[in-house]
Each structure stands twice: as structure tokens, then as C-alpha cells.
């Protein structure tokens, strides 16, 4: 087993990537669970005691968008293109969904917190949505790895019974 070291000097191999991915999922769970605290702090800045606290829909949407991008990238022929002139329906779908998340987040942020604090909330949640998008890509990779392992295990047991191997 070869190990390379990355910029931080941490030895990396296949397993460290999976362990880091699992740790990222655990961290994302807690970020999504406590995302309402951002709205609470912004309400304190507005001196609004019974203020509005939003749901973490942008974060979950970013996760699902990342998962959809992974699935489309894996199962469609050809690569996903960054160049808008070469976009097919899959790239347009990803763009429209990302734009819907951004517009929904902007409407929600500016409607409840005004220009300055709404912009701050949109920036914070926008960065979190990007992180959740990449977590969605990793989730797709994990799901594909688990599915591949399940198929391998199934066929090992299937052929073991079929061939009469004890």
C-alpha cells in the first residue's frame, strides 16, 4: 500500500479519503442541524425578539444538487461541460436547479432581514450550500462504492451456491 503525503503532511491513501468523507458528513449534519443559529444572531442584530428562523432547505438542496450532478456525470455518456455553448439538457438542469437555490435563498434572506443583513445571510448560506454541494458529490461516490460492494458480494454468494463451492 503506497502512501503519498499531501500539502499538510498527512499521509493519504484510499482509506483516509473515505474516513475524511465520513467526518465531513458528520460535520455537515451538525451544520445543518444548527443552521438556524445564524438567523437567531441576525435577529439579535435587528433587535427582533420573536424573529424569523429559516429552515435548512438551501443546505439540503445543495446536497441533493451535488448528488444529482454526480449521478448525471456517471451515468450519462460524455462529460459534463463547464462551457455554456456545449451544454446539453443535463448541464442546463444543474444550472436551473442551482439558480433556483440562489434565487430562493436571496428572496428569503432579503425579505426577512433587509439589504445588509440579508446579504450577509445569503453569503453565509451560499458558502454553506457550496460545501453541501461538494458533500453531495462525495455522497454519490459513497453510494456508488456501497452499491458496487453489494453487487460483488451478491454475485460471490450466487456463484458459490451455483457451483456448489463449500
| Cβ-based neighbour number of residue 62 at 10 Å | 28
Whether the pLDDT of residue 13 is over 90: the answer is no
The residue written with cell numbers 499521509 in the block is: 11
Whether the pLDDT of residue 15 is over 80: the answer is no
Structure confidence at residue 166 (pLDDT): 60
Q: Which of 165 and 149 is assigned the larger pLDDT?
A: 149
Say how far apart CA 140 and CA 47 lie, in whole Å.
Answer: 42
Whether the model pTM is above 0.85: no
Say how far apart CA 157 and CA 164 lie, in whole Å.
Answer: 10
SS3 per-residue string spanning the chain: CCCEECCCCCEECHHHHHHHHHHHHHHHHHHHHCCHHHHHHHHHHCCCCCCCCCCCHHHHHHHHHHHHHHHHHHHCCCCCCCCHHHCCHHHHHHHHHHHHHHHHHHHHHHHHHHHHHHHHHHHHHHHHHHHHHHHHHHHHHHHHHHHHHHHHHHHHHHHHHHHCCC
Structure confidence at residue 55 (pLDDT): 87
Structure confidence at residue 42 (pLDDT): 85
Say how far apart CA 70 and CA 104 lie, in whole Å.
Answer: 23
Structure confidence at residue 9 (pLDDT): 64
pLDDT in tens, 104-136: 999 999 988 889 898 999 999 999 999 999 889
Structure confidence at residue 123 (pLDDT): 93
Structure confidence at residue 11 (pLDDT): 65
Determine which of 7-11, 56-60, 61-65, 84-88 has the lowest per-residue pLDDT on average: 7-11
Whether the pLDDT of residue 1 is over 50: the answer is no
Amino acid at each position: 500500500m503506497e502512501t503519498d503525503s499531501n500539502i499538510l503532511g498527512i499521509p493519504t491513501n484510499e482509506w483516509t479519503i473515505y474516513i475524511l468523507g465520513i467526518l465531513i458528513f458528520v460535520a455537515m449534519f451538525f451544520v445543518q442541524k444548527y443552521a438556524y443559529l445564524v438567523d437567531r444572531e441576525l435577529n439579535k442584530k435587528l433587535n427582533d425578539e420573536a424573529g424569523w428562523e429559516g429552515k435548512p432547505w438551501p443546505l439540503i438542496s445543495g446536497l441533493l444538487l451535488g448528488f444529482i450532478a454526480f449521478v448525471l456525470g456517471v451515468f450519462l455518456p460524455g462529460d459534463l461541460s463547464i462551457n455554456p455553448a456545449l451544454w446539453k439538457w443535463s448541464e442546463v438542469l444543474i444550472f436551473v436547479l442551482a439558480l433556483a437555490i440562489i434565487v430562493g435563498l436571496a428572496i428569503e434572506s432579503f425579505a426577512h432581514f433587509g439589504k445588509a443583513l440579508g446579504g450577509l445571510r445569503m453569503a453565509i448560506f451560499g458558502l454553506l450550500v457550496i460545501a453541501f454541494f461538494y458533500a453531495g458529490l462525495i455522497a454519490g461516490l459513497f453510494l456508488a462504492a456501497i452499491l458496487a460492494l453489494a453487487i460483488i458480494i451478491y454475485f460471490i454468494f450466487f456463484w458459490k451456491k451455483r457451483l456448489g463451492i463449500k
